[in-house]
Structures are given as structure tokens and as C-alpha cells.
Structure 1
Amino acid sequence: MESGLRGKDAGECHVTALTLCCPLGRVRVSGCENGVHDIQIQMEATPAAGGCVVLESPEETPAAVRLCADWLQAYFSDPRATESLPMPAFHHPLLLGETFTSRVLQTLLREVKVGQTVSYKRLAEMAGNGRAVRAVGGAMRRNPVPLLVPCHRVISSSGQSGSYMGGKGNHLKQWLLVHERARGVKG
């Protein structure tokens, strides 16, 4: 699987969005011809088992946004299925730059697989600065593409799940971790 962290400089582009209905509620994916810009999880529903369907999609949806929708549909059906799927290109400065945040997000995407978890401290070490635990937390808060870059897999060293979506989505994080493990994947 390619890292998905590629694309042209974020500049003027024509952004298009589609909306999916999935077990977490509505998920909005936006992007342009260069890649996915962001994924927004709208938390109006209680997580529940079920499929993932596209609710709203413009006629001229960029390929990366369509690929992202396909990836999300596969993820909610069977998380392991995503391991063999191509990752859509990203077109967001946090994912394309040479910053510590970018390095953390790239490392998380590349190294922490479905059904696994990693502590904030260990992820800081993996990204090259074991003392930057708080910076890793900041990178998770700013992750523009949750689910694709699996910030839900980052937990505290004590084994507690930690905050998700500013604490408002902790129940979603728990659901995602259970969803990945319930499919026979050992963490």
C-alpha cells in the first residue's frame, strides 16, 4: 500500500465534497483533483454496526475523493480489506510538509496497522523525537483525515484510550477500536 501522502502544493483548487452514511453517522469527504483535503465526522449518531453508503455525491467528484469513499466503505465492511486497497492522494499542508506533525501522521499511517494501537510516547519515538509526546497529541488533534490516518489507534501509555475529537468523540474511538478487533485482528 502506498502511503497516500503525496500531491501538489495546496493552493487554489476546486474543492468538491461527498457525504457518506456509516456506522459513525455522517462522514463528509472533501478534496480536489490533487487529493483529499479532509474528512469530517459529524457525530449525530450513536455508533452501530452497519454498512457505509454514499448519500450525496456531485457528478464530477475527483478520483481521490471517490477512492476515499471506496476505502471508507471497505473499512466499515471489514477493516482488514483496506490493507490491500490503494490509499487516496492527500492534498492538505499538514500531510505534505516536512514538519514534525507531518512526520507523525506519516509514521502513524505507515506503521500502525488495523487492529493495533500505539502510545503517544511510542509514536513520538517512532517519528524521531521521544520527548515530543505533547506534540504527538497536537498532531492527532489536527489530523485532517481521521480514519485514513488512524489517530483512533493512538492511546495513552497506561492503556487508556485517551481523547478523540476533543473528547466529544471518545465513544467513536472506542467503537472504532472494537470494530477493528472484532474482525479477528489481534492488536
Structure 2
Amino acid sequence: MAAWSDTAVSTTAQQRYLSDRLQQRQLMLFLGSETPTGFSWLTSVDELVQLPWQAIYTTTRNQQVENKCRQYRVPHEVIDQPQQQSGVGNGRLPIYKLYGSPNQTVLSGQRLDLPHWQEFSRQIRAGLESGLTLLAICASAAELAMVHESCYSDVVHNKMWISDADISEEGQDEYRTLGWRVLPDTPDALSRILRDL
């Protein structure tokens, strides 16, 4: 943990908990496709890829995360098929592309279905049941519902977190009722706190 500083003084117990989980490589990131307040796809991903995630699951179809990993020399492995080998054992950050490669064809002008979501969601759920924590940022309501429906059980209660300053008080209460923990932080503010703690 960082030395006592203004950052340490102004952090919450929840932020410190997530920082501890991150430093222990026990925090998975679910990076959705929304652009919430305080997030820039051009600059915000810089901070995210330099944090020691256990894994990144993303619905983005662009290659921003992979490009930033290369830029900052973060060893990583892009996985868009469940049968691919995970980079966890070899020191590489696994980046699970839930919508597949940006080179894949979009069917009927719609977003690709998630053909492998069930396998990936079982993997996330198994991680949660084994003690990992999941942090969702930049996720739409539909993406959060997809994660909740596929991954939630009483065993993982309070192991699924959302960081989003755009969720109303009522919305936060609804997610808390469903068993999520909610931080009303912008993704940028939270990533800076996680970096500095």
C-alpha cells in the first residue's frame, strides 16, 4: 500500500478493498462498451491496462485494449474462443473478447451474438466462486443484466462490483438489491485510486 498521502486519506474502505484485491491479482475486469462520464477511450484505457488484473473480459470490438497493452509492453493474450489457452499461467494478461475479433462479420447489421458467452460466463462464475472479485466499468444496463443473469448466485453475493458515476441513487439501490456492490466513481477516478494505493 502507498505511503500515507492525500489519496490515502480520501479513499473509501470499498476502494481500498478493491485495491487490495487488485494487488493480490484477485480482481477481474469486465469492460463494457459504454462511454460513461469521466471516461475517454483514447486516454482512459492507458491506466486500465497497466493495472495487475487477473483477467479482462470485454464486449468492445475495437482493439484499443490490445493496442495499449502493446504500447505499455504489458504481456497479454487475446482470447476470443473458450478453447484457447489462457495466459494466466504464463504471466500474460488474458483479454477475453466476448464479441470476438473486429475482423469478424457483423450479421444483418446487428452486433454479433455472443456465441461463446455461456462458456465465458461459466469461467467468470467459477472464478467468483473460487474467491475472485469482478469489477464492471463502462457497462450498459443490458451488459450488466447479461453478467448478472449468467454469473450471479448466492455464493458470489457481494463479489460483483460496478463503478459508474452515471447510475442514479435508485439505480444503485436496485443493483445493491440484486447483490452487486456499487461505487459511484467515474472509471478514471477509480483507476487512478487503484493505481495510487
TM norm structure 1: 0.31
Higher helix share: 2
User: TM-score if structure 2 supplies the norm length?
Assistant: 0.30
